Amino acid sequence: MNFSTITIAGSGVLGSQIAYQTAFKGFDVTVYDINDEALEKAKERIEKLKGRYQEDLGASEQAVNDAYNRIAFQSDLAKAVSDADLVIEAIPEVVKIKTEFYNELGKAAPERTVFATNSSTLLPSQFAEATGRPEKFLALHFANEIWINNTAEIMKHPGTDNDVFDEVSQFAKAIGMVALPLHKEQPGYILNSLLVPLLDAAELLLSKEVADVETIDKTWMIATGAPKGPFAILDVVGITTSYNIVNAKAEATGNEEFKKLANLLKTEYIDKGKLGTATGEGFYKYPNPSFEDPDFLKN
C-alpha cells in the first residue's frame, strides 16, 4: 500500500471524522470543500473531535494536536488533489452533484490517484465512468463516530481493479478500521442493509402510536443486549438524514405510513430544531440521555 497523502472531499460531519482519523494515524491529509466558509465550519468540527479522542481513546493532548496539524484545508480542487494518492469523496448524496464533482476530479487529479466514495445509498457503478478511471474507483464506507465504530466497508464495482481493492483494504486497516470487503455491489452495503430495516420498523411503531421512544428502545436493549436502541442510534445518525430517507420512500411508493412518519419527523423534530446529538436534542436530550441511566432497563 503506497498511500501517504490523502484528500477528503467534503467536510461535513463524516468527512471531518474521516479526515481527523486519517491524520491521527499519521497520514498527511487535505480537506477540500467548495468555499472557505464550509472549511471554517470543518475546522470547528475537527477541533471538537480532539476532546472526544482524549475522552474515548485516552489520547494525549500532544497526539490530538499533532493529528490536527497534519491537516491542510483547501477550497481549490486542483490544489487539494495535486499530490493525492487517494481521494475519499464525502459530498452530498445527490447524483447530479457527485457526477459533476467526479468529472472535475478526474481532470484535476494525478493519473495515479485512486478515488473512493463514502456514499451510503448510491452505488460506485453510477459514477465509475464519470471518474475517467473506473478501474481506480470503488466505495469506502464508514460508520458515524468512526474512531469508535471502526468499520470500513470496501465495495468494488465490476470494473474495479483487484489490486486497487486490496490497496484500499490495506489503507482502511492502516487508519485503525476493521476492513470489511464486499465483492459485489449492494445498496446499503452490509451495515445499512441490516440497520435501515430496524430503524424503519422502530420509527413506524412510534408513528403508529404502538409505543413510545423509550419503551421501544428498552425492548430492543433488554432482548438483544444491545448498548443502544434504534432511537438512540437515530440521534447519532441525525434526524434530518432519517427524514430524507423516509420521505424518499414515501414519494417513491406512495405508502401512507411512510408519509405519516415523514410528517411526524418534520413537524415534531426537524421544525423544532431537534436534530439529534448534534443539536443536543433529538429523540433524547443530551448530555446524559435517559437510556444511559443505570436504572433505564430496570423500570
Whole-number pLDDT of residue 1 = 81
- Point out which residues pair with 141 in neighbouring strands: 153
Active-site residue list = 120, 141, 153, 192
pTM of the model: 0.85
Are 7 and 29 in contact by the 8 Å Cβ rule? The answer is yes
Query: Residue 266 carries which DSSP code?
Result: I
SS3 54: helix
C-alpha distances in Å from residue 23, one per residue of 7, 30, 262: 11, 9, 38
Residue partners of 268: CB distance under 8 A and separation at least 6: 274
Query: Average pLDDT for consecutive 10-residue bins of the chain (299 residues)?
Result: 95 95 98 96 96 97 98 98 98 90 98 95 94 98 94 97 98 98 93 93 98 98 97 93 88 94 97 94 97 92
Q: Give CA–CA dist 137/130, Å, rounded.
A: 10
Cβ–Cβ under 8 Å, residues 154 and 182? yes
In angstroms, rounded to a whole number, what is the distance separating the alpha carbons of residues 241 and 243?
5
CA dist 256 → 7, 229, 246, 266 (Å):
43, 25, 11, 15
Task: Give the Cα separation of 66 and 201 in Å (integer).
Answer: 43
Give the dihedral of Cα atoms 116, 53, 63, 174; nearest 10 deg.
-30
Beta carbons of 94 and 76 less than 8 angstroms apart? no
pLDDT at residue number 147: 98
**Model pLDDT, residue 29:** 98
The number of beta carbons lying within 10 Å of the beta carbon of residue 248 is 14
Pull the grid cell for residue 271: 421544525
